[in-house]
Amino acid sequence: MAKEFIAEPDLGFTKDLLKSGGGDLKKCYQCATCSVACKVSPDNQPYPRKEMIWAQWGLKDRLMNDPDIWLCHQCNDCSTLCPRGANPGDLMKAVRKMHIESTCWPSFLGGLVGEPSMFVVAMGIPVVVVLLLVYFLNGFNFSGPSPVNYGTFINYIAIQVIFTLALAFAVVSLVISLKRYWNSLEANIPIEVQGPRKGFVPSLIEALKEILPHTTFKDCEANNIRYAAHLLTFWGMIGLLITTAIVAFNIDILHLKPPSQNGPGTVAIKILGNASAVAFILGLVIMTVRRLTVPDETGSSAYFDWLFLFVIGGTGLTGLVTELVRWAGSVPGAYFFYMIHLMFVLALLLYLPFLKFAHLGYRTVAIAWGRSVGRNMTLATAAKYVPPAKPAEEAAAE
């Protein structure tokens, strides 16, 4: 940082941060307890201390181009140890939210999803799309013969078209947003990095090797339960995706009956699906309950957090309820909840790049980039302290 830096605090940015959940950020007096406490922060220019002073000084540029905000796993060790109650964990979360809003594409959707007063409009879009779909295909007729056959309620093709489009949109949007992020990291980072660069793909593979078993996340202490809960939800979701893919493949390509109609491979698929669903939902329930009962350990929760939990939790719960209602024997009930479930899934996919869900992309990119420049991700276990050798005469005197 030899070049001169002209500080031009953006007062509006600081006020936004204060509103987005970083309410205590001005209390920080730079003691650096947080940076020392953070298990996953690197030794060189650690976080979250510098982010706190940048936030206090309204230095939007630095925060928006900082890789460290996404290396943080919101374990809350820093907030629990902060002697001032400045909650650096919450500040990092608030910056992440504003970062998503500023890098996402198209940006107006980021604003729509992030603004509490736009809840009805934001959620209204997937609701209206699914309602229209059901209306045009079915005229809101939920009745039908037993057993439940979702394909007759809504044609699978229609589902696949709509949802594939939604997924495609999400993927394109996320890729553009993440490309913007990567470029800003290459060009504008406010910290010094040096050393040889690894290529993108090897870095990504290294990142995935760490992310899939949650190696880094395990180091966090204050909110350690969330590591386990998140692991459940993470793998539960992957399990559910695999299940969906297999079923879609069976239906479309192999023209087999789906498991709901006891098609072949039913037992294996059902076990995979249900086990994944249980893991998925259990993890979310644990995380939600902890947010409500022990906010000191989890960090405080703002609109942005609850919205994501609402959408993804709603997805899981409606899926489960749909299955249960089917088992209970109510055909209209199953079709009704299936419709609700579709609304949630559509919301989840459509808004993936704009909800907190986007963390799956941003954090991965940040960790991959970190691996690529050698900004050590997990601290190697610190060498055991060896006291200096005593001079011979002192040792003899004892």
Partner 1 sequence: MAQKIGVYIDTGYGIGEALDVEALSQVAVKEYKVAVCRSEPYWSDPEKLAIIRNDITTEELTAIIIAGPSRRVFENVFKFDGIITERVNLREHVIWCQPPNHEDTQMLAEDYIRMGIVKTQKYDDRAPFSEATEKAILVIGGGVTGLNAAVGAANAGYQVYLVEKEAELGGWARKYPKVFTGKPPYDELIPPRVAEKIQAVQNSDKVKVFTDSQVFEIAGAPGMFDVIIRPNGPWVDEANKRANDWRAEQLARAARFAGEKQEPAAEKEEAVGAWGVGERREPDYEHTRVAVGSIVLAAGWRPEDAATFEHLGYGKYPDVITSVQMEELASKGKITRPSDGAAVQSIAFIDCTGKDNEKPNLLYHSYVTSLVALKQAHYLRLSNPDGRAYIFYENMRTPGQYEKYYQTMQDDPGVFLSKGEVLGVSNGGRQLAVEVKDTLLAERLKVNVDLVVLGVGMVPVTQDSAVVNLRYRQGPFLPVNPQGFNDSHFICFPYETQRTGIYTAGCVKQPMDFHQSGTDGLGAALKAIQCAELTAQGKAVHPRAGDQSYPELFVTRCTQCKRCTDECPFGMYDEKPDGTPMPNPTRCRRCGICMGSCPERIISFRDHSVDMIGSMIKSIEVPDEYSEKPRVVVFICENDAYPAIDMAGINRMQYSPFVRFVPLRCLGNLNLIWIADSLSKGIDGVMLIGCKYGDDYQCHFVKGSELAGVRMSKITETLQRLVLEPERIEVHQLGIDEFAQIPVLINKFIETLSGFDPNPFKGF
Binding site for partner 1 (CB under 8 A): 1, 4-9, 11, 14-15, 18, 26-27, 29-30, 45, 50, 53-54, 56-59
Least Å distance, CB 53 to partner 1, is 5
Closer Cβ to partner 1, 59 or 178, answer by number? 59
| 26 versus 39: smaller Cβ distance to partner 1 | 26
Q: Which residue lies nearer to partner 1 by CB, 8 or 43?
A: 8
Q: Which two tokens stand for residue 351?
A: 């808004």
Smallest gap, in angstroms, from Cβ of residue 19 to partner 1?
A: 11
> Please, what is the minimum distance in Å from the beta carbon of residue 15 to partner 1?
6
Please state, in angstroms and as integers, the Cα–Cα distance from residue 80 to each residue in 40, 74, 116, 227, 304, following that order.
15, 12, 28, 17, 22
Angle 314-319-323 (CA atoms, 0-180°, nearest 5)? 145
The Cα 142–Cα 138 span in angstroms is 8
Contact between residue 368 and residue 203 where contact means Cβ atoms under 8 Å apart: yes
| Residues 41 and 17: beta-carbon distance below 8 Å | no
- State the minimum distance, in angstroms, from the CB of residue 99 to partner 1: 20
Shortest Cβ 58–partner 1 spacing (Å): 8
Q: What is the largest CA-CA distance in the chain?
A: 97
Work out the number of other CB atoms within 10 angstroms of the CB of residue 281: 19
- Shortest distance, CB of residue 172 to partner 1, whole angstroms? 38
* H-state helical runs in 66-199: 68-71, 77-81, 88-103, 107-114, 119-138, 150-153, 156-188
